[in-house]
Structure formats: structure tokens, C-alpha cells
Amino acid sequence: MNVIPCSIKTLKGLYDISGVEVGQHFYWQIGGLQIHAQVLITSWVVIAILLGSVIIAVRNPQTIPTDGQNFFEYVLEFIRDLSKTQIGEEYGPWVPFIGTMFLFIFVSNWSGALLPWKIIQLPHGELAAPTNDINTTVALALPTSAAYFYAGLTKKGLGYFGKYIQPTPILLPINILEDFTKPLSLSFRLFGNILADELVVVVLVSLVPSVVPIPVMLLGLFTSGIQALIFATLAAAYIGESMEGHH
Amino acid sequence: MASTVMASSSSSATSQFLSNGRRTCPPSPLPLIPKVVVAAAKSDFRRTATTTKTSLPRRLLDSLPQKAAAIAAVAAAVSPLPALAEQMEKAALFDFNLTLPAIAVEFLLLMVALDKLYFTPLGKFMDGRDSAIRAKLGDVKDTSEEVKQLEEQAAAVMRAARAEISAALNEMKKETSAELEQKLAEGRKRVEAELAEALQNLEKQKEDTIKALDSQIAALGDEIVKKVLPIA
């Protein structure tokens, strides 16, 4: 009969854990449409952080860069390098897109791990990384699709659609399918990683409140950065792929 | 799931819990917890069944009240669930709504803002600095060429000066040697002249002496003759 107490304990644990509010949203109504307010609020904070730090660091560039400027120059060089390796020599116009993608996702992910959102109580749901919501990740993946279509069409005109029957027309359905799987995989990869990361941390914290979750938190920071890099790299790779010639 | 297992342990107490359970857990959006309960109950059931092969029905009957108690305990544990269940009912991981276009618009605005504030100005600034540094490096290369030219010029000047000096030296040497020769020749001429004069004087004196000797010779002869020949 010692199974029952054990299972009750498990239940209690599950109940405690279910304090993690998965899929709980704080809704606002705008013109009869619902909107996830917690995502919007955190995204505003992320945008404010980005714009604020950029304005402070870059408003008066020095020939010999100071600390903040040096950091942002490093970031810009990193983004340029990334775009150049993925897109090729014509990477220039795509730097803002790839860079904003990377910075927004990166700061979003890290804000979920580093900013003490839980201090602010919402009537319903809780504040977390904006990328914790499927709406955000899809909202980032769809412009990526649009971007690579735009890149291909401006570079090659209607000849861009010739790639659908390359190397053989038999692959037409798979090539068309790819256009759907690309944004799908982009958005779900980011969403799943960030949600899982935050859940793991919260569950571990609820089980063992101190020390033990720290390695997982560090791992979370690492994966968050990697996810931002992956998203930006893949977006650049898709753009580069649609711009390069298919033979 | 829960209802089937509970029904199988057909007792009045369980049926009561069953109905209770139905009321408290609405069309389970939270199937996890009932599942765990069921699994626990099932495993317990099986263990009792396998260990008592001989009088299985009897043992089952004995254990029924215990089962009922266990399930009651579980139900008690689950009882705070209704509130949770109500919350979880709205759990929506994949509800797409106005958030999507809102975030997309925000992203595009952020892209424009960052481009205006960060990417374009700082990129231009960095490119400008790069080209300035490159130009300065080029300048440095040019000055090194200039230095080389100056060095060559200096070497040419030195060469010219050296040639001039050696020419002057040669000329001076020539002049001095000519002067010397002239003086030497003059000296020689004077010496020769003096020599000739001295020789002439000597000759003259010799002649004079000889002339004088001649006259004296005659007188002397006469005397000698007088002395030798006294009769004459």
C-alpha cells in the first residue's frame, strides 16, 4: 500500500508545478480581437532596451571607440560577417533585416532568463520572454518567408520560380512544400526551445529552490543565444539561397 | 480513463467519487493527473493479483474496502483541482490572434528604427574610418618614396661635392708642381750662370797666371843662364 502515498506526493508535486502557467494569457480586447498583452508588454520592454542602448552608445561615434560604441561595432561586424557568409557579396541591404532579427530574438530570449518579470503580477498569465509565444515566433518567421521571396523575385524576376522544377520537375511538390516547412520549422524551433527552457527552469526551481537550477539556467542562456543565432543564420541562408543562381 | 477504472471496483463509495470526479474535473483538459492516479491504482491492483494466485477472488474482495479508501484519499488530494482545471481549461499554447500581426508590425518598425539609428550611421562611420585609415597608410607609403628620392638627391650632391673637391685638389697639385719646377729651373739657371762666371774667372786667372809665369820664366831663365854661365 505504499504506492498510494507516493502517488499522492506525485500529485501534490504536479499540482505545485502546475503553478507554472503554461498557455495562460493576459488578454486585451482591441476592436473585438484578442491580443496577448503580456507578449506585447515584454516586447515593448525589449524594443526599449534595444533602442535605448543603441541611442546611448552610438549617438556620437568616436574615431577611437569608447566601451559602448566598441561593443555595438563588434555586434555590427558580427552581423555583417554572418550576412556576408550566408548571402554573399550583395549582403548590404539585408544587414538591417538579419541584424534586427538577431538582436530582437537574442534580447527577447535573454530577457526571459535575466529580467525578473515575475515581480510584476498580472491579473492573469505571467510575463515571460516574448519568444515564449507562438504568435511572436510566427510573426518573425513569416517576414523571413516574405523576405526571401522578395530577394529572389527582385534578383531574378519571374525566373525565380524556375527553382521549383530544379533539378527535376518531379520534385515540384517537395519544393513547394519547402516554402511551408521553412517558416514552420523556424517558428516552432524557436518557440519550443524557449518555452521548454523556461519550463525546465521553473520546474527545477519549484523542486529544488537553490543552486541546482543554476547550471540549467546557464544552459538556458546558452541555448537562447544559440537559438537567436540559428534563426538569424537560417533567415540569411534562405535569402542567400533564393538569390544565388540555380544551375 | 479514471471513470472506467473506478467503475471496475464497483462499490457504492467509489460510484459516489465517480460522480464527484465527473463534476469536479470537466471534460479533462488536464488528463495527466487522473492518468497518474489510474496508473498507481492499476499497478497496486496487479501486484495484489499476482502475489495471491490461490484465492484471488477472496483476496480481491478483501482488498476492496482498502481500494475504496485509497481512491478516497486520491480524490481528496485531487479536490483542489477544480479551480486549477478552470484555469487550465483556457490553456492555449497555439491560439493565434491579433498578437501575431502586432508583433510583426513592431518588428518591422524596430527594423526601420534600428536601421536609422544603428546599422546605417554606424556602418557608414566604420566604413569612413576604414577608408581614412587606408588613405593614411597610402600617404605613409608615398612619403617613404619621397624620402628615398631625397636620399638619392643627397647622395648626388655628395658625389658632386666629392668630384669638385678632387678636381680642385688635382688643380692645386698641378699648380704647385708647376711653380716648383719653375723655381727649380730658375735656381738651376742661376747656379749654372754663376758656375760659368766662376769658370770664366778661373780661366782668366789661369791665363793671367800663365802670362805672368811666362814673363817670369824668361827673367828666371836669364838669371839661371847668368848663374850657370858666368863667363858669358
- Distances in Å between the Cα of B189 and the Cα atoms of A4, B135, B199 are 154, 81, 15
- Distances in Å between the Cα of A166 and the Cα atoms of A83, A86, A127, A234, A245 are 25, 21, 46, 21, 11
CA distance A194 to chain B (A): 13
Secondary structure (DSSP) of B173-220: HHHHHHHHHHHHHHHHHHHHHHHHHHHHHHHHHHHHHHHHHHHHHHHH
Does pLDDT of B186 surpass 90?
Answer: yes
Give the residue on B whose Cα is nearest the Cα of A54.
B118
- Which residues of chain A lie closer than 8 angstroms to B92, CB-CB? 23, 25
Mean pLDDT over each residue of chain B, to the nearest integer: 73
Please indicate whether, in this complex, the C-beta atoms of B73 and A8 are within 8 angstroms of each other.
yes
Nearest to B114 among A15, A100, A136 (CB): A100
More confident residue, A144 or B94: A144
CA distance B7 to chain A (A): 19
Considering only A23-37, B168-182, B197-211, which range has the smallest mean pLDDT? Answer: A23-37
Does pLDDT of B41 surpass 60?
Answer: no
Please indicate whether, in this complex, the C-beta atoms of A104 and B126 are within 8 angstroms of each other.
no
Q: From the CB of residue B31, how many other CB atoms can be counted at a distance below 10 Å?
A: 12
% of chain A residues with pLDDT over 90: 39
Distance CA A37, CA A94 (A): 31
CA distance A171 to chain B (A): 31
The residues pairing with A28 across neighbouring beta strands, listed in sequence order, are A35
- Distances in Å between the Cα of A91 and the Cα atoms of A101, A158, A169, A219, B232 are 15, 21, 30, 32, 162
- What is the rounded average pLDDT of the residues A93-111? 92
Nearest to A25 by CA among B98, B115, B38, B220: B98
- What is the rounded average pLDDT of the residues B210-214? 86
Give the residue on B whose Cα is nearest the Cα of A79.
B119
CA distance A169 to chain B (A): 35
Distance CA A82, CA A79 (A): 5
- Distances in Å between the Cα of B28 and the Cα atoms of A100, A149, B5, B86 are 42, 44, 16, 10
- Distances in Å between the Cα of B12 and the Cα atoms of B15, B22, B24, B31, B75 are 5, 15, 18, 24, 15
More confident residue, B147 or B87: B147
Mean pLDDT over each residue of chain A, to the nearest integer: 85
Give the residue on A whose Cα is nearest the Cα of B80.
A15
pLDDT band at A132 (very low <50, low <70, confident <90, very high): confident
pLDDT tens per residue, range A156-170? 888 888 888 878 889
Q: How many CB pairs below 8 A link A and B? A: 155
pLDDT tens per residue, range A214-238? 888 899 899 999 999 999 999 999 9
Nearest to B111 among A80, A97, A133 (CB): A97
